[in-house]
Amino acid sequence: MKFSVISILLSLITILLSIKVNVNILNYYLSTDGKTQALFGLTELKYSYKYYFLIISLISSLFLFLAFKTKELKKFKYLGIFILSSGIASVFIGFWKWFV
């Protein structure tokens, strides 16, 4: 059970870091004027460090692989898969746009 719990915790860290970056992007977007908002796709490139969070997801998937290799509880393994996929999706989806 320890490998799947570590995987879940690492995936939650990825999700929280991704939320923090998206909130920073949203705050920066709301503080800019109209011309900058129109070309915000170029300005958003300075937040491309969020793709480094995928390294944490990779480590989380390794722990999840170890959890499947050892006979751990199924509910923790499947919860780990769900949270891992949510963490990976949260890196790629710019959900700050939903709050504009």
CB neighbour list of residue 94: distance below 8 Å, 6 or more residues apart: 22, 25, 44
Q: Compute the average pLDDT of residues 68-87.
A: 92
* pLDDT tens column, 55-74: 999 999 999 999 999 988 88
> pTM of the predicted model, to two decimals?
0.89
Q: What is the dihedral sign for C-alpha 52, 56, 57, 59?
A: positive
